[in-house]
A and B are shown apart, each in its own frame.
With several copies, the nearest count.
Chain A
Amino acid sequence: MSTISYQEAALQAVAEEMRRDRRVWALGEDLGRGGVFGQYGGLLEEFGPERIADTPISEATIMGASVGAALVGTRPIVEMRFADFALCAVDEMVNQAAKARFMFGGQARVPMVIRQPSGMWRSSAAQHSQSLEAWYAHIPGLIVVAPYTPADNKGLLKTAIRCDDPVIYIEHKDNWALQGEVPDDADYLVPLGAARLARTGDDLTLVTWSKMVGVAEQAAELAAEQGIGIEVIDLRTLWPWDQEMVFASVAKTKRLMVVHEAVQAGGFGAEIAATVAEHMAHVLTAPICRMGAPRAPISYAKPLEDLLRITPEQIVATAARQTGV
């Protein structure tokens, strides 16, 4: 175990997997200078420009060429820089990467990891702040991962790189500096599809992911002072998501809240809320509750941007209403 940042944890994951498997390579703009957030720092020196490939500003081809390179047996790590720019490569992601295995009757696989740094970050405004994980969860053929802790960013990124199907890998830009204990083990893997019980509690199950896990933990801390026990589940993988853990928790707490940074309307919280409503209505003692962003583009001005951020206090207030405390 070492205490390192979310960014260093990812760097470790990539370096270890590149050492382990010669077929793994990374491509994107500015990777040779460490990537836009430093998350590829030093890799060029170790692996050379063929495997840490600087590309033109050609998102569609970064993605499409990766599909081709994956089909013939390499394992590309695709850096999209900001999740927003992946919107320049959607055909390649959704019509090609996600469907090739199925459409070709299982003849080929598309092992690629599509890194999409996401979320609100320092007044980045409407085109550099989006959280679009719900889109990818809706697309057959894609796995969707959104780690919160540094340890998970190591273990899940490594598992994603070893996965034979395309993985949308969502790192939160506000998390790069987050410190945490991370196993040094080069075989430290976190399984896809398994949630993490971040905190136990008896009164309310709060399901969340990515940066909101930290906010939820703070909320749970505050709520505990008011006598409300919030159980926080860090979903980690959005598709497939860990229904088992969520259902077990809801069976215990009899209440569900889902919190995410993304727009609430059509967000992935709706899927969780709907699934629980379908299957666990009989145990619920309070209406399910979602907290997501209003359906508004993200503003530049800090006070307006902040308005779209969910705070621990808001969560506690909602939890208090929901639990009747």
Chain B
Amino acid sequence: MPNNNAHPKHNIDRDRLVDLYRTMRRIRAFEEAAEKASLSGQVGGAVHLSIGQEAVAAGVCANLRKTDQITTTHRGHGHCIAKGTDPGAMMLELFGKEGGTCGGKGGSMHIADFKVGMLGANGVVAAGIPIAVGAAHGAKLLGEDRVVVCFFGDGAINRGPFMEGLNWAAVFKLPVLFVCEHNGFASTTHSDAVTAGPGANARAESLGVEAFTVDGNDVAAVDSMVGDLIPRIRGGSGPKFLSAHTYRLKGHTSVDPAHYRDQEYAAAQWEQDPLRRATAELRRLGLSKEQLASIDNEADAEMAVVTDAAEAAAPPALEQAFADIQDIGAPVWREQS
């Protein structure tokens, strides 16, 4: 049995790490802005932050083509940005405004951006798994050269569609990379407490899907591992599974103080913040503090601009409430008093 749990030796190129860092920083800046807007009430609905988990999004998506596709979850801002979705359109979506990725009709949990291969976040845990598998099935049927990456959490591996979807991908030998972001929590529950057996990888292997593990807070490690896996999947070797171990530095939603976790442990986890670790590595590779600060500032500035724009933007036209339901049998819009 190959040792799938070893971290690949990575000797990352400085420019590549700068790019990965920039992606992570942009995700962080976006979510910090989203968090503020959520707490101030400008953004409605539930907002799930991936702060602390950015290395997975950045490291995975850096290895994808624009024509490749992903599905994600309720905690998907990072995956969207890393796959190339415009944060401006995303912020408009969070604010429920015209010009949002979904015209303001989906919100944080339903961001989608088909033109960059982002097939949708999902409000139902594990529901994106069969959808990703089906997208890969579709690619195979259409003879299109695409890989589909399916992101989900450690809580999702206890839902039936997880097992069904992996078995399906293996039976039909589909080009899917399953990425389980193991952040320790299923909402306010420690995922360990409700998950039996040796873990996600054993489940994947038992379903015929070769499984790998990576330090999900080490962006270079994720990049290297996925850089190895994607060409194999593209080459027709069937689905693969990757467990990325990380930590959710914030609560389940923007308003969850997460009192249920060991506060000392949680605080200590900030040492493992993937941004902090990448910063250290970049400094080691010779990047100056000023160069790093300029990336940070650029990201913050970008997100300040999109937030201001989202605040100022118009709400969707009311008739959008009845648009894009179905071609026949949908309600007819009538201006109301």
A–B contact via C-beta, under 8 angstroms: yes
A104-B102, A123-B107 known; A58 vs B168 contact (CB < 8 Å): yes
Residue pair A54, B329 in contact (C-beta under 8 Å): no
Residue pair B187, A30 in contact (C-beta under 8 Å): yes
Write out the residue numbers on chain B whose beta carbons fall within 8 Å of the beta carbon of A179: none
A52-67, CB under 8 A of B: which get 1 and which 0? Answer: 0111111111011111
A69-B138, A74-B142, A301-B97 known; A33 vs B321 contact (CB < 8 Å): no
CA distance in complex: A58, B129 (Å) = 13
Residue pair A50, B134 in contact (C-beta under 8 Å): no
Q: A165 on the interface (CB 8 Å rule)?
A: yes
In chain B, residues 170-217, which have Cβ atoms closer than 8 Å to a Cβ of chain A? 171-172, 186-189, 193-195
Write out the residue numbers on chain A whose beta carbons fall within 8 Å of the beta carbon of B155: 56-57
Write out the residue numbers on chain B whose beta carbons fall within 8 Å of the beta carbon of A66: 134
- Name which of A3-11, A94-102, A181-189, A222-230 contacts chain B: A94-102
In chain A, residues 262-288, which have Cβ atoms closer than 8 Å to a Cβ of chain B? none
Write out the residue numbers on chain B whose beta carbons fall within 8 Å of the beta carbon of A95: 123-124, 127
Partner of A124, one of B45, B69, B93, B195: B45
Q: A154 on the interface (CB 8 Å rule)?
A: no
Residue pair B120, A100 in contact (C-beta under 8 Å): yes
Q: A25 on the interface (CB 8 Å rule)?
A: yes
Q: B260 on the interface (CB 8 Å rule)?
A: yes
Q: A319 on the interface (CB 8 Å rule)?
A: no
Residue pair B101, A105 in contact (C-beta under 8 Å): yes
Partner of B124, one of A55, A72, A91, A102: A91
Residue pair B159, A299 in contact (C-beta under 8 Å): no
Nearest-neighbour CB distance to chain B for A86, whole angstroms, equals 11
Residue pair B102, A105 in contact (C-beta under 8 Å): yes
- Name which of A201-209, A210-218, A245-253, A303-311 contacts chain B: A303-311
Partner of B139, one of A72, A105, A126, A140: A72
A68-B135, A85-B124, A103-B105 known; A299 vs B320 contact (CB < 8 Å): yes
Residue pair B331, A92 in contact (C-beta under 8 Å): no
Partner of B168, one of A65, A141, A300: A65
Residue pair B321, A163 in contact (C-beta under 8 Å): no
In chain A, residues 31-82, which have Cβ atoms closer than 8 Å to a Cβ of chain B? 32-33, 36, 50-51, 53-61, 63-74
Residue pair B315, A301 in contact (C-beta under 8 Å): yes
A56-B164, A72-B69 known; A193 vs B135 contact (CB < 8 Å): no
Residue pair B324, A302 in contact (C-beta under 8 Å): no
Q: How many A-B residue pairs have CB under 8 A?
A: 285
Nearest-neighbour CB distance to chain B for A35, whole angstroms, equals 10
Nearest-neighbour CB distance to chain B for A182, whole angstroms, equals 24
Residue pair A300, B114 in contact (C-beta under 8 Å): no
Nearest-neighbour CB distance to chain B for A15, whole angstroms, equals 17
Partner of A192, one of B71, B318, B328: B328
Q: A195 on the interface (CB 8 Å rule)?
A: no
Residue pair B130, A68 in contact (C-beta under 8 Å): yes
Q: A128 on the interface (CB 8 Å rule)?
A: yes
Write out the residue numbers on chain A whose beta carbons fall within 8 Å of the beta carbon of B336: 307
CA distance in complex: A227, B156 (Å) = 56
Partner of A304, one of B104, B120, B130: B104
Q: Chain B CB within 10 Å — which of A32, A127, A297 has the most?
A: A127
Write out the residue numbers on chain B whose beta carbons fall within 8 Å of the beta carbon of A36: 187
Residue pair A102, B324 in contact (C-beta under 8 Å): yes
Residue pair B329, A143 in contact (C-beta under 8 Å): yes
Q: B56 on the interface (CB 8 Å rule)?
A: no
CA distance in complex: A44, B13 (Å) = 51
Write out the residue numbers on chain A whose beta carbons fall within 8 Å of the beta carbon of B115: 107
Q: A88 on the interface (CB 8 Å rule)?
A: yes
CA distance in complex: A65, B148 (Å) = 13
Residue pair B114, A108 in contact (C-beta under 8 Å): yes
Q: Chain A CB within 10 Å — which of B141, B159, B315, B326 has the most?
A: B326
Residue pair B105, A105 in contact (C-beta under 8 Å): yes
CB nearest neighbor in B for A294: B331
In chain B, residues 281-337, which have Cβ atoms closer than 8 Å to a Cβ of chain A? 315-316, 318, 320-331, 336-337
CA distance in complex: A305, B43 (Å) = 14
Residue pair A240, B328 in contact (C-beta under 8 Å): yes
Write out the residue numbers on chain B whose beta carbons fall within 8 Å of the beta carbon of A125: 45, 105-107, 109-110, 123
Residue pair A108, B171 in contact (C-beta under 8 Å): no
A selection of 25 A-B contacts at a CB cut-off of 8 Å is A30-B187, A55-B168, A55-B194, A56-B155, A56-B164, A57-B126, A61-B133, A61-B160, A61-B167, A68-B136, A71-B120, A74-B138, A91-B127, A95-B124, A96-B122, A96-B131, A103-B105, A123-B45, A127-B123, A142-B326, A297-B325, A300-B102, A300-B107, A302-B96, A307-B321
Q: B: which residues have CB within 8 A of A?
A: 44-46, 69, 71, 93, 96-97, 100-107, 109-110, 112-115, 119-120, 122-127, 129-142, 155-156, 158-161, 164-165, 167-168, 171-172, 186-189, 193-195, 260, 315-316, 318, 320-331, 336-337
> Other CB < 8 Å A-B pairs besides A61-B168, A301-B316, 7 of them?
A56-B167, A68-B138, A74-B137, A101-B325, A102-B105, A105-B320, A300-B102
Closest 4 CB pairs of A and B: A68-B134, A64-B130, A123-B44, A240-B329
Q: A: which residues have CB within 8 A of B?
A: 23, 25, 29-30, 32-33, 36, 50-51, 53-61, 63-74, 84-85, 88, 91-92, 95-96, 100-108, 122-128, 140-143, 163-165, 192-193, 239-240, 294-297, 299-304, 307-308, 317
